[in-house]
């Protein structure tokens, strides 16, 4: 029987609110068994870039990562955001280790090919080094991944944190019974964005298609859910979406996604 592994991706709105971040890290630190944390930090990177006089370019909610932008992202994701989280986890008795995909050759990616839009130094995950990540888990470290990968030729790449969480869960699923949690500020997938209690408790391909047709699921939730179903198709055991309360073993109000 495989050991259970929890992989939690934390949303930017939680990272940038110190009170919410502290609450999340309390819950995360208390979770038993091996676990991995994945985070982004896009809003924080945009704020720092503005202070440095560097324009952040976005198309359809996705960042165009030019050479200067990549420098800011590396500083913010791999430095400020990552080390802040790691230090706070250490204070809560969790022996965290902050990583990018380049560390230990953990996550290798390829530069996104130019089609209609050139996303610059954006990476699409090619391979997760599950053996390297497993060694950290076996040594009782808690890996904390920022949203940076590398291409194996010395180039860092900005990579979507939701995708990293999904690909890490897939990579680890051969040796672990993996549960992937997308933790953000909402209670889950909502029928009515204005009503926090209107959570769709179970989402599977049938009602997912219906909600897409009804335009209930749209915009930023689409790529997140695509990652969820992709993970399930690649043998990840379970995928859940919700807020911090979801990580409590007694929680009932969140979205569970199944095939």
CB atoms within 10 A of CB 110: 15
Nearest to 191 by CA among 226, 216, 222: 216
Report the C-alpha gap between 186 and 197 in whole angstroms: 10
Q: Is there a binding annotation on residue 140?
A: no
H-helix or E-strand spanning residue 129: none
- Pairing of β 142-145 and β 96-99: parallel
Report the C-alpha gap between 140 and 91 in whole angstroms: 16
Q: Is there a binding annotation on residue 158?
A: yes
Q: Is there a binding annotation on residue 63?
A: yes
Region of residue 33 (left: phi > 0; alpha: psi -120 to 50; beta: else): left
Count the residues in the chain: 259
> Is the sign of the CA dihedral 127, 128, 131, 135 positive or negative?
positive
Q: Is there a binding annotation on residue 108?
A: no
Residues flagged as binding site: 41-42, 63, 158
Please enumerate, by residue number, every residue annotated as part of a binding site for substrate.
Answer: 41-42, 63, 158
């Amino acid at each position: 029987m495989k050991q259970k592994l929890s992989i939690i991706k934390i949303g930017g709105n939680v990272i940038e609110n110190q009170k919410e971040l502290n609450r999340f890290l309390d819950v995360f630190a208390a979770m038993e068994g091996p676990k991995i944390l994945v985070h982004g930090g896009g809003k924080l990177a945009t704020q720092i870039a503005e202070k440095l006089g560097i324009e952040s370019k976005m198309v359809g909610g996705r960042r165009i990562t030019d050479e200067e932008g990549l420098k800011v992202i590396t500083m913010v994701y791999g430095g400020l955001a990552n080390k802040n989280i790691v230090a706070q986890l250490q204070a809560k008795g969790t022996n965290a280790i902050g990583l990018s995909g380049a560390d230990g050759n953990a996550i290798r990616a390829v530069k996104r090919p130019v089609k209609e839009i050139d996303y610059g130094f954006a990476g699409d995950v090619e391979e997760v080094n599950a053996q390297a990540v497993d060694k950290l888990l076996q040594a009782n470290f808690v890996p904390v991944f920022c949203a940076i990968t590398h291409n194996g030729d010395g180039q860092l790449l900005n990579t979507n944190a939701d995708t990293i969480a999904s690909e890490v869960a897939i990579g680890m699923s051969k040796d672990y019974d993996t549960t992937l949690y997308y933790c953000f500020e909402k209670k889950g997938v909502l029928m009515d964005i204005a009503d926090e209690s209107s959570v769709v408790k179970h989402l599977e391909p049938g009602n997912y298609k219906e909600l897409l047709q009804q335009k209930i699921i749209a915009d930023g939730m689409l790529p997140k859910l695509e990652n969820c179903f992709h993970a399930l198709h690649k043998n990840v055991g379970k995928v859940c979406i919700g807020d911090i309360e979801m990580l409590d073993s007694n929680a009932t109000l969140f979205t569970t996604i199944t095939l």
